[in-house]
């Protein structure tokens, strides 16, 4: 994973973890590493984050525990290139993150793409809670129908129950805050590509803090210890 890198893996992992987990800028990290006798340019730190966030998330997802079959789905706003983009997210009844997807548009096509991604990576939910969004309701109905038509098992799949309630969906509204709290100091992303990459790392850290990795279920591993396990 770190073969051929000029800096030691511990330095790279430290910078990536600090940036994704805490309200620090790239220049903050440049200063903090310099105080420890390590000269790292902030642009180099950015390249590390872009390079390793997706790979660490992929490794994390292979060790992620199963989510429950009752989901809450919603989208929130993220600024990219000075314009609003839409971060679709889903959590389960325990508050664990199911899936996420950043879209330039808030549309039926975007909602379908997000749900197809979630359904392809996880077992079909029994129920999905949404707010009053008509678009999300239509997306669930369409994806559910496609999923049942493609079903090759011998047992008949029951339709996904849709429950529309702004009050019940307050759970995911609260969960959005942890992600947006880290994004706020960044003052917006410069491109959709970098936004998706960095958000993947931020969401991964959020899942780590929830203890969603199988190896973290019965232990109190720190973020540093979890990063070290993923990079091993």
**Class level of CATH domain 70-190:** alpha beta
* pLDDT tens track for 134-157: 999 999 999 999 888 777 777 788
Long-range contacts of 177-184 (CB under 8 A, 24+ apart): 178/206, 178/209, 179/76, 179/87, 179/89, 179/203, 179/206, 180/76, 180/78, 181/23, 182/20, 182/21, 182/22, 182/23, 183/78, 184/23
Residue ranges in the chain modelled with pLDDT below 70: 2-4, 217-218
Residue 163 has a pLDDT of: 96
Using DSSP, state whether 96 is helix, strand or coil. Answer: coil
Residue 218 has a pLDDT of: 67
Residue 219 has a pLDDT of: 74
Q: Where do the structural domains in the chain lie, given as residue ranges?
A: 9-63+214-231, 70-190
Residue 155 has a pLDDT of: 74
Residue 4 has a pLDDT of: 60
Residue 191 has a pLDDT of: 94
Closest listed residue to residue 147, CA positions, set 170, 165, 121:
121
Its pTM stands at: 0.93
Beta bridge mates, 80 = 83, 189
Residue 150 has a pLDDT of: 75
Residue 43 has a pLDDT of: 94
Residue 128 has a pLDDT of: 97
């Amino acid at each position: 994973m770190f073969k051929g890198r000029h800096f030691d893996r511990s330095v790279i992992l430290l910078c990536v973890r600090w940036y994704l987990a805490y309200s620090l800028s790239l220049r903050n990290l440049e200063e903090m590493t310099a105080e420890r006798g390590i000269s790292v340019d902030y642009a180099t730190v950015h390249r590390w984050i872009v390079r390793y966030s997706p790979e660490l998330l992929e490794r994390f997802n292979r060790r992620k525990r199963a989510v429950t079959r009752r989901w809450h789905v919603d989208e929130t706003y993220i600024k990219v290139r000075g314009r609003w983009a839409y971060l679709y997210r889903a959590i389960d009844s325990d508050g664990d993150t199911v899936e996420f997807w950043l879209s330039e548009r808030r549309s039926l096509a975007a909602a379908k793409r997000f749900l197809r991604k979630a359904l392809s990576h996880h077992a079909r939910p029994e129920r999905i809670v949404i707010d009053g969004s008509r678009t999300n309701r239509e997306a669930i109905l369409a994806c559910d129908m496609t999923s049942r038509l493609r079903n090759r098992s011998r047992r008949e799949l029951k339709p996904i129950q849709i429950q529309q309630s702004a009050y019940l969906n307050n759970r995911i509204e609260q969960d959005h805050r942890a992600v947006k709290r880290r994004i706020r100091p960044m003052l917006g992303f410069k491109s959709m590509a970098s936004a998706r990459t960095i958000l993947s790392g931020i969401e991964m850290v959020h899942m780590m803090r929830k203890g969603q990795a199988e190896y973290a279920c019965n232990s109190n591993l720190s973020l540093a210890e979890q990063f070290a396990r993923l990079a091993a």
